[in-house]
Structures are given as structure tokens and as C-alpha cells.
Amino acid sequence: MNHTQLLLDVSTNALLHLEFKKLDKPLSLIERNNLLVKYFKRIVKANRYRTIRKSAKQWISLGRQSDTNLESILDTEVERLLQTCSTDLYRFVGLVADLELTLNTKVQYSKACDIDLNARYGKVLVCVVDEDLTSSFDSEGLMIKSTQILFIGNAELKDVFSAVIDQTRYFQSVVAYEDEIHLRIELFRM
């Protein structure tokens, strides 16, 4: 899970934890801050959250200040993170990261006429094929035109590639070309 998504999950869970505590009894500002500080102390100690430890420590520091409303700060942070995590560009970058992780490779970017078919990282070649990738997304990160991803490798890894592409809930994929070792898909915004 990437840094931004992890921050979003932890801050949302902290707010949910607080809401459930508020159902039991009304809480003062100091009690709410103390509950959130206690929650974030567990996060700081857990090794699986090491990538967001700095943010959790900042929230602990803010929660200890008497005049700060940590709940409202977290509400604002959740809204900001939701905006960041909901752009098509962010999701596209996440898809590329999933492909790299799953196939143990590096995804390249090239114009169709400039692809180096021998430049493989690992056992496969995965390349985003686009004349100008930045023109596929607007200034707010929404996909405004389709883009293509080329895969070259053995049939088994081609199936793994297809599975990663099919798992995305944010893009529709259409096979533009396929043979035994090649697969070129076109991605559209859903």
C-alpha cells in the first residue's frame, strides 16, 4: 500500500475510533485529543506503519496542545487525501506500480516508433505507449484521452499482466493487439 493511501486509511480509522467512543458518552476536546493521541501512539509503534510514522508523530504533537482540535485537523486531512487519491492520474500511477511489483520489472514510457524491444527489465517488457502522456490527463488529474500499455513476454507472464490490468476498477481496458508473446491494451477512463 502506498504512503498516501496508508495515511488516508489510518486517519479515517482514527476518526471512526473516535466516533465510536463518542457514542458511549460525550467527550470534551481534551478527551477527544487524548483518545486520538493514544490511537496514534499505537500506530507509531507498529512496524507496518513505518512509512507514515512522521505524520503520526506530528498528529500526536498537535493532539497534546491544549488549544488544538485534532479531530478537525484530521477531518481536513482526510478530505485532502481523498482528493489526492481519487484522481485518474494517481490511479494510473498506482496501476503502473502494481505492474512493476507483480511482474518484477520497470515500466517504460515511449512513443510507438521509439520503443526499444530489447530493453527489458527482468523477463518482460512493459511500456506505456503514448505520444504525450501528459496530454492524456488534464490539470486536475482526470484522464481525458486513452493511453496504451504494451506487454512483451511469455504466455504465463502475459496472463499475470492481464490479471493486474483486469483488477483495476478505475479504467476500462480493450485489447488493441494480441499474439503469443505480445499484448497491447488501451486504457479508458470508466
For residue 7, what are the CA distances in angstroms to 32, 60, 61, 121, 162?
20, 14, 17, 31, 29
Of 85, 101, 124, which marks where a domain is finished?
A: 85
The pLDDT value recorded for residue 37 is 96
- 98 and 182 in a single domain? The answer is yes
- Cell numbers placing 48: 507496518
- 118 and 178 in a single domain? The answer is yes
- 102 and 75 in a single domain? The answer is no
The pLDDT value recorded for residue 142 is 86
- 77 and 94 in a single domain? The answer is no
- 141 and 167 in a single domain? The answer is yes
Of 85, 109, 136, which marks where a domain is finished?
A: 85
Of 85, 101, 135, which marks where a domain is finished?
A: 85
- 124 and 50 in a single domain? The answer is no
- 184 and 109 in a single domain? The answer is yes
- 40 and 129 in a single domain? The answer is no
- 17 and 33 in a single domain? The answer is yes
Please state which of the ranges 50-54, 78-82, 99-103, 176-180 shows the lowest mean pLDDT. 78-82
- 127 and 177 in a single domain? The answer is yes
The pLDDT value recorded for residue 134 is 84
The pLDDT value recorded for residue 1 is 61
Domain span including residue 129? 88-189
- 147 and 167 in a single domain? The answer is yes
Rounded Cα distance between 77 and 168, Å, is 26
**pLDDT single digits (tens) 29-88:** 999 999 999 999 999 999 999 999 999 999 999 999 988 999 999 999 998 888 777 788
Indicate the pTM of the whole model.
Answer: 0.64
**Partners of 184 in the beta sheet?**
150, 177
- 128 and 183 in a single domain? The answer is yes
**pLDDT single digits (tens) 117-171:** 888 888 899 999 998 888 898 887 889 999 999 999 999 999 999 999 999 888 9
Report the relative pairing of strands 182-189 and 147-152 from DSSP bridges.
antiparallel
Domains in the chain, number: 2
The pLDDT value recorded for residue 119 is 81
For residue 60, what are the CA distances in angstroms to 14, 18, 47, 73?
12, 15, 17, 12
